[in-house]
């Protein structure tokens, strides 16, 4: 099996960084997300800018669900915001298939309309669709995230996990090709956490060509991923098979515990 990628810049087949790409949903040479040699510092007035991303590169194949992990403060959210176009890198290049959507950690920042149906339809206003088309897109998107029965519900009455799923449905209704998901399960209990992650997995399995990059600290979530990226200190240090990255992080954590107990 050829596990190389077609390099978009040189047109050559190149080996993926550090590891092979696991193929679960589909084999593809098509890249949905790519950042190359990204550098970023937050501007400061008084002190010299501290580098946050250092020559950081990432590439994610189309139609797959990948996770981005790493210690607190290593730059995961910053990288995601650069990929979303919410921040500009100091240098480096970014390619992300559009339309794309950034889903925030706190769904209250994203779910804005009074009912579930109105909220999922909110972003469709700009697309000049007939009301039948709007209804059909809303219904398909809610089905993909397992929220069909909640269409008429007031968003105020939903749990955190249900709100997250409504936010994801909004992106799917707009036919987003890339979902950038920033620690969606941080504030959720275990059942909501599993509900949201299954909703993303199901959205990818049922909507052709949608790609998701999911920032998380929860190693158990890697069970749902097609691949993973591990960052440290502003750089991608490991890339590829989710199980291998899980074992690597577990070994790191166990070394750390041994160190503090010694
Ligand atoms: N607006 C800002 N101004 C200055 N520094 C910032 C700003 N936002 C983030 N940082 C710093 O950038 C670094 C990377 O932050 P980022 O949020 O990307 O890390 P992270 O890996 O997502 O962390 P966590 O896992 O804790 O969410 C941190 O040191 C953080 O303090």
Spell out the SS3 assignment of 187-250: CCCHHHHHHHHHHHHHHHHHCCCCEEEEECCCHHHHHHCCEEEEEECCEEEEEECHHHHHHHHH
Q: What local confidence, expressed as pLDDT, does residue 199 receive?
A: 87
Residue ranges in the chain modelled with pLDDT below 50: 1-28
**Rounded Cα gap, residues 226 and 25, in angstroms:** 7
Atom from ligand 1 closest to the CA of residue 215: 22
Domain range 5-104+179-261, CATH class: alpha beta
Q: Is the CB of 42 under 6 A from ligand 1?
A: yes
Number of Cβ within a 10 Å radius of residue 10:
8
Cβ distance 107 to 143 under 8 Å? Answer: no
Q: Is the CB of 26 under 6 A from ligand 1?
A: no
**Predicted complex ipTM:** 0.97
Q: Is the CB of 77 under 6 A from ligand 1?
A: yes
**Residue among 41, 69, 74 whose CB has most ligand 1 atoms within 8 A, to mutate:** 74
Q: What local confidence, expressed as pLDDT, does residue 1 receive?
A: 26
Q: What local confidence, expressed as pLDDT, does residue 258 receive?
A: 85
Atom from ligand 1 closest to the CA of residue 183: 27
Distance 73 CA to ligand 1 centre (A): 5
Q: Is the CB of 74 under 6 A from ligand 1?
A: yes
Q: What local confidence, expressed as pLDDT, does residue 104 receive?
A: 85
Instruction: Tokens for 136, please give them.
Output: 């059909």
Domain boundaries, the chain: 5-104+179-261
Atom from ligand 1 closest to the CA of residue 182: 22
Q: Is the CB of 147 under 6 A from ligand 1?
A: no
pLDDT in tens, 182-236: 988 877 788 888 888 998 898 888 888 899 999 999 999 999 999 999 999 999 9
Q: What local confidence, expressed as pLDDT, does residue 255 receive?
A: 85
Cβ distance 34 to 94 under 8 Å? Answer: yes
**Residue among 35, 42, 236 whose CB has most ligand 1 atoms within 8 A, to mutate:** 42
Instruction: List Cβ neighbours of 181 (8 Å cut-off, separation of 6 or more).
Output: 103, 168, 200, 212, 213, 214, 215
Take atom 5 of ligand 1 and give the residue whose Cα is closest.
42
Q: What is 71-95 written as a DSSP string?
A: STTSSHHHHHHHHHTSS--SEEEEE
Q: What local confidence, expressed as pLDDT, does residue 107 receive?
A: 77
Q: What local confidence, expressed as pLDDT, does residue 29 receive?
A: 60
Burial group, residue 68, by CB count within 10 angstroms (0-12, 13-18, 19+): buried
Query: Given CA atoms 87, 93, 99, 105 in this order, what sign does their dihedral have?
Result: negative
């Amino acid at each position: 099996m050829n596990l190389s990628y077609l390099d978009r810049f040189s047109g050559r087949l190149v080996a993926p960084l550090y590891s092979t790409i696991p193929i679960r949903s589909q084999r593809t040479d098509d890249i949905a997300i790519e950042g190359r040699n990204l550098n970023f510092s937050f501007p400061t007035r008084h002190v010299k800018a501290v580098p946050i991303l250092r020559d950081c590169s990432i590439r994610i194949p189309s139609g797959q669900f990948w996770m981005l992990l790493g210690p607190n403060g290593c730059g995961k959210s910053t990288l995601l915001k650069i990929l979303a176009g919410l921040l500009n890198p100091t240098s480096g290049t970014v390619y992300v298939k559009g339309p794309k959507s950034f889903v925030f950690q706190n769904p209250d920042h994203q779910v804005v309309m009074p009912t579930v149906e109105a909220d999922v339809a909110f972003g469709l206003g700009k697309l000049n669709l007939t009301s039948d088309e709007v209804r059909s897109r809303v219904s398909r998107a809610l089905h993909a995230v397992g929220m069909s029965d909640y269409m008429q519900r007031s968003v105020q009455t939903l749990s955190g996990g249900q709100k997250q799923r409504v936010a994801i449905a909004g992106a799917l209704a707009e036919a987003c090709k890339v979902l950038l998901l920033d620690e969606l399960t941080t504030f959720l209990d275990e059942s909501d956490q599993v509900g949201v992650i299954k909703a993303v997995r199901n959205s990818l399995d049922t909507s052709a060509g949608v790609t998701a990059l999911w920032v998380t600290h929860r190693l158990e979530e890697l069970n749902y991923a097609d691949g993973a990226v591990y960052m440290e200190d502003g750089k991608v240090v490991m890339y590829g098979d989710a199980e291998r990255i899980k074992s690597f992080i577990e070994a790191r954590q166990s070394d750390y515990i041994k160190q503090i107990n010694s």
